[in-house]
Amino acid sequence: MVNVVVTGGAGFLGSRLARVLLAAGSLAVAGGAARPLSRVTLIDRVPVPPDLAADRRVGVIHGELAGLLDPGAAGPGAGAGSPGAGAGGPGVRDALAGAEVIFHLAAAVSGECEADFDLGMRANLRSTEALLAACRALGTRPVVVFASSLAVFGASAEHPLPAVVDDHTLPNPQTSYGTQKLIGERLLADYTRKGFLDGRAVRLMTVVVRPGRPNAAASGFLSSIIREPLNGQRATCPVSPDTEVALASPGKAIDALLCAAVSSSQTWGGRSAVTMPALTVTVADMAAALRRVAGPQADALIDWVPDPAVAAMVRTWPGRIRSDRAARMGLIPDQDFESVIRMHLAESSS
């Protein structure tokens, strides 16, 4: 039997990952044989979706991760009153102790981290430090899959971004979020080197199309300019139409996270993070695909209103990715953006 923990388990990717795991019913951990899934514990500060809460195989722990594992790291009141809160309370301690795989997805997003430095440090750095320390204390060497980000790369005057980012490109984050993710990668690698756990970091692309309301991520507009017009609502694009972006559908992001959990150490190939494959498109390409799928009335709902601050941030992100290491593990990018939109429509109507 296999137990799994997902931090950020009530979020978009966390809840989707949980559903995929539960539907499969089994998991082959780190190259081993597939075994039945016994329990999936979701840790989040917000309620999990009702369908997951109703599944008898799902456990739920409410609270901010840093506060649940280390009350002093979370700030005054964070996580207070939550089940399992406080100094690695029984809920968290028991869930981690019984888990063979821990997916660490909990994070504050890029825009939030730029607006509130302390929030980013608490949610992205201190929570990761606390989780890794807790895993070390267990002595069970669990597989820890860390959701990192393409934001670890960036362009600066002394270190221009290459035309194509590959497996050997030096990280050079230009945001607090990217810096926090890079530190998380390096901590995970060192805990792995010391034999405390088996860490695998996956650099996720911007995931499109995200359902629901816009979030505070700087990349959120890339979903909004598709999602809102499909619902007959106006959306604002803050960057120029010729801006290149690297994207992945939700399904491809989940594929990358699961690949990290099930790959043998030999297949995974080391302690450094794996950059997942990406579909490269311009924002104009995205609008054109929307028009082909939903008609001219859809892309007419996009308002092209430049926002210099957002545009400056987006310009530091790589647009073209060569992911040879990921490709050797069987990961492939989405075929085209039109298919990404159609997948979103199919899932939204189901």
Question: Average pLDDT in the 261-285 region?
Answer: 96
Q: Please give the Cα distance from 282 to 289 (Å, whole number).
A: 11
**What b/e readout covers 184-220, taking b as 16+ CB neighbours within 10 angstroms?**
bbebbbebbeeebbbbbbbbbbbbbbbeeeebebbbb
Please tell me whether residue 84 adopts helix, strand or coil conformation: coil
Q: If you average pLDDT over every residue of the chain, what do you get?
A: 91
Question: Average pLDDT in the 214-236 region?
Answer: 90
**Residue that has been written with the tokens 């490109």 in this structure:** 169
Residue 78 pLDDT > 80? no
| 300 closest CA partner among 222, 200, 198, 228 | 228
Question: Average pLDDT in the 261-274 region?
Answer: 96
Residue 69 pLDDT > 90? no
Q: What contacts 62, CB < 8 A, 6 or more positions away? A: 44, 45, 46, 47, 82, 83, 84
Q: What contacts 327, CB < 8 A, 6 or more positions away? A: 277
Question: Average pLDDT in the 35-42 region?
Answer: 97
Q: Please give the Cα distance from 197 to 136 (Å, whole number).
A: 7
Q: Residue 93 burial (CB < 10 Å; 0-12/13-18/19+)?
A: middle
**Residue that has been written with the tokens 């060192």 in this structure:** 190
Question: What was the pLDDT predicted at 114?
Answer: 87
Residue 216 pLDDT > 60? yes
Catalytic site includes residue 177: yes
Residue 84 pLDDT > 90? no
Classify residue 175 by its DSSP letter.
Answer: S
Tens of pLDDT along 85-102? Answer: 333 445 888 899 999 999
CB atoms within 10 A of CB 23: 8
Beta bridge partners of 200: 145
- Residue with the bigger pLDDT between 7 and 112: it is 7
What value does the CA radius of gyration of the chain take, rounded to a whole number of Å?
A: 20
Residue 77 pLDDT > 80? no
Options 3.40.50.720, 3.40.50.300, 3.40.190.80, 3.30.565.10; which CATH number does 2-205+249-276+320-333 get? 3.40.50.720
Question: What was the pLDDT predicted at 221?
Answer: 94
Question: What was the pLDDT predicted at 85?
Answer: 35
Confidence of residue 255 (pLDDT cuts 50, 70, 90): very high
Tens of pLDDT along 11-37? Answer: 999 999 999 999 999 999 999 999 999
Question: What was the pLDDT predicted at 345?
Answer: 95
Structure tokens at 76: 């005054």
- Among residues 177, 191, 196, 221, the one annotated as catalytic is 177
At residue 317, φ and ψ (nearest 5 deg) are -85, 140
Question: Average pLDDT in the 142-170 region?
Answer: 94
Handedness of CA 58, 273, 278, 152 (dihedral sign): positive
Cis preceding linkage at 209, omega within 30: yes
Counting residues of the chain whose pLDDT is more than 70, the rounded percentage is 93
Residue 259 pLDDT > 90? yes
Question: What was the pLDDT predicted at 316?
Answer: 82
Question: What was the pLDDT predicted at 66?
Answer: 84
